Amino acid sequence: MFKSCLVVGAGNAGRPVARLLNHQGVDVTISDAKTFDEFTTRRQGRLKVLEDEGITLKLGEKQPKVDEYDAVYLAPTIPETAPIYQQIKDQQKIIITRKTISDIVNNILTMDKIGITGSFGKTTTTDMLTHIFKAAGYKVYQCSSMKWNLVSEAIVDDIIKGEYKGADIAIVELPHGTLGLLGELDLKIGVLTNLRPEHLCEFGGSMQKYVDRKACILPASQTLVANSQCGDLLTYKRDDTIYFNFEDQEELDLEKYKPVYIGLIDDDGNYHIQIDTHDEISDYEVDIDTVAYYTYENLTAAIAASMTYGLTIDDVKRGISNFTGVGGRMEYLGKFNGVDAYYDASYGDQSVRQALEAIKDENLIILYDNVDSTTIRDKKESGRTIGDYANIVIASGYVEVTNTLDMDSALELLGAIENDDVVKLAVCTVDEAAELAMKYAKPGDIIVHLGPDASNSYEQAKTRMLKGLNEGSKRYDNQ
């Protein structure tokens, strides 16, 4: 291991790299062109943690020098034309890569690892798998965006705190940002929940670049378990993929899904797990009454991964019976003046539709927080989608994770709603939106929060929403 390292960029990639290397005994300096005051309050808190752990901060440094360091890590946002690349080449410095970081984590998390990626459903699938493995008697180390929105930071934080110790298996969510940093983990099983045109604004609008990032999980996995929806994208890359789907199996061309297909089959409300090896079909009836319908596809992914690993159908059944839902995924908050309220983190086209389909015929008041949380996202797509479901949309401009207000984002989202019958309102914060929703809501209506703050800042945004609902209930109780 090299003795000293310069991490260039104190952003979402640089911070976990710096902490992990420092934890390994490397003398780490982290450099950034921004001054400390230019970072958000939350990011300042993270930087103070680095400093308290012994990492040197060089902030406001426009042209970092590599002379005194053995190795250099460059954030992916730094262009290859930057002068520092020439310094590294001239001085023959070691470059820290995704493999370097992945290998360090592999050497720490030595137990079998299951990694879950995809466009949406990752967190729910991770939690369902954890319940199933715990029901089978395993001690599970689990990490998902429910801990921190940046899972790579959460994994490194858990490593430093020793959260993984004593675990028999690690089950980790791998969003595309985390795959960019830890895309070469040694996975016993990799799970690909689906591939939909989501988050494309982070990949220059290119579906192919997005798929390529998700495809990091293919070579990293001893066994790949993938939604049959991904078949046309992945078959030519891994012929040994085990496919799953929540569909009528008779509608699928099973010849495409060799060697094994695992399905959750709906037989007039009675559900069966079918495993088709093309030599024989095994069929197991399961009770999934405790699972919400919109998560059935995620459940199928969890069933496929656990049974591929070697767990029994009884383990699966016990795990399913223990699962009651994931916070921030159509989480029921209660009834307020006769109005049901839900809290959900969906914001892209497909994930929003998946969340709202089960309640689409109800009178819906949608509270939409600022979709631009940690990255810039497509407000027009979001607006068009929620316009298909909502009677009233109240958009807020405040971003919990960055502590900033951007009303232009809220107005752009509202402006993209094509349904002229939708009532559109813009406010600053989620609590204001929730309180205003109670003014317009009638008994029997449904209020749904949507937007990434339910994941990125789960507790803060939820507390705000509950505050607004309670205040609104009092204020408009006699309307």
Which tens digit of pLDDT belongs to each residue from 320-370? 888 877 777 788 899 999 999 999 888 777 778 878 887 877 899 999 988
pLDDT tens for each residue of 18-39: 999 999 999 999 999 999 999 8
Same domain, 315 and 368: no
Q: How far apart are CA 160 and CA 163, in angstroms?
A: 8
Same domain, 316 and 347: no
| pLDDT for res 224 | 93
Rounded average pLDDT over 238-250: 74
Q: What CATH number is attached to the domain comprising 206?
A: 3.40.1190.10
Among 171, 173, 167, which Cα is nearest to 146's? 173
Burial of 362 by CB count in 10 Å (0-12 exposed, 13-18 middle, 19+ buried)? middle
Q: Which residue, 81, 96, 111, sits at the end of a domain?
A: 96
How many CB atoms are located within 10 Å of the residue 290 CB? 11
The string of DSSP letters for 169-228 reads: EEEEE--HHHHHHHTT--EEEEEE----S-SGGGGTT-HHHHHHHHTTHHHHEEEEEEEG
Same domain, 169 and 317: yes
Same domain, 228 and 343: no
Please say if the pLDDT value at position 48 is more than 60.
yes
C-alpha distances in angstroms, 356 versus 19, 213, 305, 344, 445? 40, 28, 27, 10, 14
Q: What CATH number is attached to the domain comprising 20?
A: 3.40.50.720
Rounded average pLDDT over 176-187: 92
Question: Looking at per-residue confidence, does 93 or 457 come out higher?
Answer: 93
Same domain, 281 and 368: no
Q: Which residue, 274, 302, 322, sits at the end of a domain?
A: 322
Tokens of 254: 């099973």
- Number of structural domains the chain divides into: 3
Same domain, 303 and 185: yes
C-alpha distances in angstroms, 267 versus 228, 274, 290, 291, 371? 20, 12, 18, 17, 38
Q: How far apart are CA 342 and CA 435, in angstroms?
A: 14
How many CB atoms are located within 10 Å of the residue 355 CB? 23
| pLDDT for res 322 | 87
Same domain, 49 and 85: yes
Rounded average pLDDT over 52-62: 95
- Give 223's pLDDT tier (boundaries 50, 70, 90): very high
| pLDDT for res 207 | 79
Same domain, 256 and 362: no
Please say if the pLDDT value at position 439 is more than 80.
yes
Please say if the pLDDT value at position 249 is more than 60.
no
pLDDT tens for each residue of 114-165: 999 998 889 999 999 999 999 999 999 999 988 877 899 999 999 999 999 9
Same domain, 120 and 233: yes
**Per-range mean pLDDT, top range of 37-51, 255-269, 373-387:** 37-51
Same domain, 448 and 432: yes
Mean pLDDT of the chain: 87
Rounded average pLDDT over 266-276: 76
- Give 258's pLDDT tier (boundaries 50, 70, 90): low
Angle between helices 98-108 and 151-161 (to 10 degrees): 40
Q: Which residue, 56, 71, 96, sits at the end of a domain?
A: 96
| pLDDT for res 196 | 78
**Residues in contact with 161: Cβ distance below 8 Å, sequence separation at least 6, in sequence order:** none
| Least-confidence region, from 55-69, 298-312, 376-390, 439-453 | 376-390
Question: Looking at per-residue confidence, does 251 or 368 come out higher?
Answer: 368
| pLDDT for res 189 | 97
| Total-model pTM | 0.84
Q: What CATH number is attached to the domain comprising 419?
A: 3.90.190.20
Rounded average pLDDT over 34-52: 91
Same domain, 222 and 284: yes
Amino acid identity of 163?
E
Domain span holding position 13:
4-96
Same domain, 148 and 285: yes
Please say if the pLDDT value at position 199 is more than 70.
no
Please say if the pLDDT value at position 240 is more than 80.
yes
Q: How far apart are CA 380 and CA 413, in angstroms?
A: 6
Percent of the residues in the chain that have a pLDDT greater than 70, as a whole number: 94
- Give 256's pLDDT tier (boundaries 50, 70, 90): low
